[in-house]
Amino acid sequence: MIIGLPKEIKKQEYRVALTPAGCEMIVRQGQSVVVQAGAGEGSGFPDSEYEKAGAKLVTEAAEVWAEADMIVKVKEPLQEEFGYFRQDQLLFTYLHLAAAPELAKALADKRVTAIAYETIQAPNGSLPLLTPMSEVAGRMSVQEGAKYLEAFQGGRGVLLGGVPGVPPAEVIIIGGGIVGTNAAKMALGLGAEVVVLEKSGERMRYLDDVFQGRLRTLMSNPYNIAQAVRKADLLIGAVLVPGARAPRLVSEEMVKTMKKGAVIVDVAVDQGGSIATIDRATTHENPVFEKYGVIHYAVANMPGAVPRTSTLALTNVTIDYVLQLASKGFQETIKSNAMLALGVNAYRGAITHPHVAAAVEQPYTPLESLW
């Protein structure tokens, strides 16, 4: 199999889906790798390291897509990449199709086989390929929120941890999963008062145990969310339904009650967002906008700001799947790996994940019916 590694074209996206070490593993397995020149530079991997690992370097993205049987990426293909799609080509990347119905249609129309990192799911419900980026984004949410609370950034002028004699900031986190847990770690480490709203009693007990009572947990329901949002200096949206659009849990009316200069960071924006007043994703170049006196941070590729860390964390967990797919082929791998099968979002012109199909308003076709 020929594995293709194009350079990411999303604005200010510097991650790369394959490191030279991963490339070497693929080549040693007897497969071939074609890399677009400059693909790894943003993460600190020069072309020379890919060449030493046995990859073939090409100049244009079109060459990568044309030669490769499987394309590995970080971010979902953008409109200008749709023309590269071809029947039965395997695409392995984050897709977030619930927020990109036009991409879902293009994949189905071109009969691309598309596996989404974010819907590969273990029997215990965990999302192993989403976890490392959720860890990064959760930690960054507090880092970025603290910055935008500074007065010259338009914020309230509040230090998260306060100082002796001055109370710390109130950090409200909606969702106690991987993002929420990592946000809580950072916020508590900086000395903030932290409240996590979560709908699972079991998860709340876990958080209470892990943090030894240093944060407060609340049942996530509209009443409690409204009360907590009003008090927030920093509000972090950290909810996820695998493959589906993020639920809108914070209404426009709730945002209107927030303190002037408070900050919202919505980590769920790449799945459509959980905050009603965030109607668009932003970029690292222009990450925030103000509405009702509240600063909104809505960058859809937050881990792209720390590409070296993010690339290494991501490729640590993706490379085994790449090796399996390359050595066994798609069908054999999927039939023997139920976790990976849940990652298949599109196959032979059909949408094969139920949550994705519902989100993009397309018919759902069970994968096993297409063998």
User: So which residues are the catalytic ones?
Assistant: 96, 270
DSSP 268-310: GGGGT-SBTT--S-B-SSS-EEEETTEEEE-BTTGGGGSHHHH
Pairwise CA distance, residues 62 & 366, whole Å: 32
Closest CA to 331 of 283, 362, 280, 368: 368
- Tell me how far apart the 2 most distant CA atoms of the chain are, in Å: 67
Tokens found for residue 79: 């409109």
Tokens found for residue 350: 């059909």
Pairwise CA distance, residues 68 & 72, whole Å: 10
Closest CA to 303 of 60, 57, 131: 131
CB-based contact 323:26 (threshold 8 Å): yes
Distance of CA 245 to the CA centre of its chain: 13
Return the number of other C-beta atoms located less than 10 Å from residue 320's C-beta: 12
Instruction: State how far the alpha carbon of 241 is from the alpha carbons of 23, 98, 123, 274, in Å.
Output: 32, 10, 15, 11
- H or E element in which residue 328 lies: helix 307-328
Pairwise CA distance, residues 311 & 43, whole Å: 7
Residue 52 has φ and ψ, to the nearest 5°, of: -65, -30
CB-based contact 112:89 (threshold 8 Å): yes
